[in-house]
A = this chain, B = another copy of it.
């Protein structure tokens, strides 16, 4: 069993507020999982009874709409926690978490987290701040979905993907999303997404290398995104 104390990603989440003793206790009761690309960590409606700490890889949090399409609400990257909301609300998961890349995650049981909440105020304040940050992002995202055009949202999403997950050796977006997933992020039909990507390529603001996307003129994209 690996030690939480030595885990680097801990620094990026609320877990950084835990003491050495608490980390040792956590290392004792945690379970590590390997999740392959495309596999779920948990699904909408499932009772999770704990939270996951993402050690490696990226996953999408999405919800199936009544029209049959999957809307991606958020991408979660290493260092972030997963499933806090439903654990705190004591409800089944509202969203599905599915790996976009191969992942390594650790599961920490609810009983443990609740103990940390009561004994470590810094920890609970940190979790609270994280959730507040999520709420702010959700509100902002909502406004964009309601008021911006698909093209504006696509441009904004491409910039977000580059700034958040970086680029590979070709200078293309490191995070490989399918066109369907990209469409699910911006809230549009897959064909519309593909069509607008072609349009942005024709304009010369992006380049399409196979299914990879490379941002050529970020300023132009920024101007489109507002």
- Measured CB to CB, the residues of A under 8 A from B are 63, 65-67, 69, 71, 73, 84-85, 88-89, 91, 94-95, 117-118, 121, 124-125, 127-129, 131-136, 138-148, 186-187, 226
Contact = CB atoms under 8 A, between A and B. Distances in A.
Q: Is the interface of A mostly helix, strand, loop or mixed?
A: helix
Contacts of A187: 145-147
Contacts of A124: 124-125, 128
9 contacts: A65-B147, A67-B147, A67-B148, A84-B132, A91-B136, A94-B136, A135-B138, A142-B142, A145-B146
Given A94-B140, A127-B128, A128-B127, A71 B146 contact: yes
Contacts of A146: 65, 71, 145, 186-187
A128 B88 contact: yes
Contact of A85 (B67, B94, B136, B148): B136
Contacts of A133: 89
B71 A142 contact: yes
A138 B142 contact: yes
Given A89-B136, A94-B136, A118-B121, A73 B131 contact: no
A18 to B, nearest CB: 17
Contacts of A138: 135, 138-139, 142
Given A89-B132, A138-B142, 13 more contacts: A63-B139, A63-B143, A65-B147, A85-B136, A117-B121, A118-B121, A134-B135, A135-B138, A138-B139, A142-B145, A145-B145, A145-B187, A146-B187
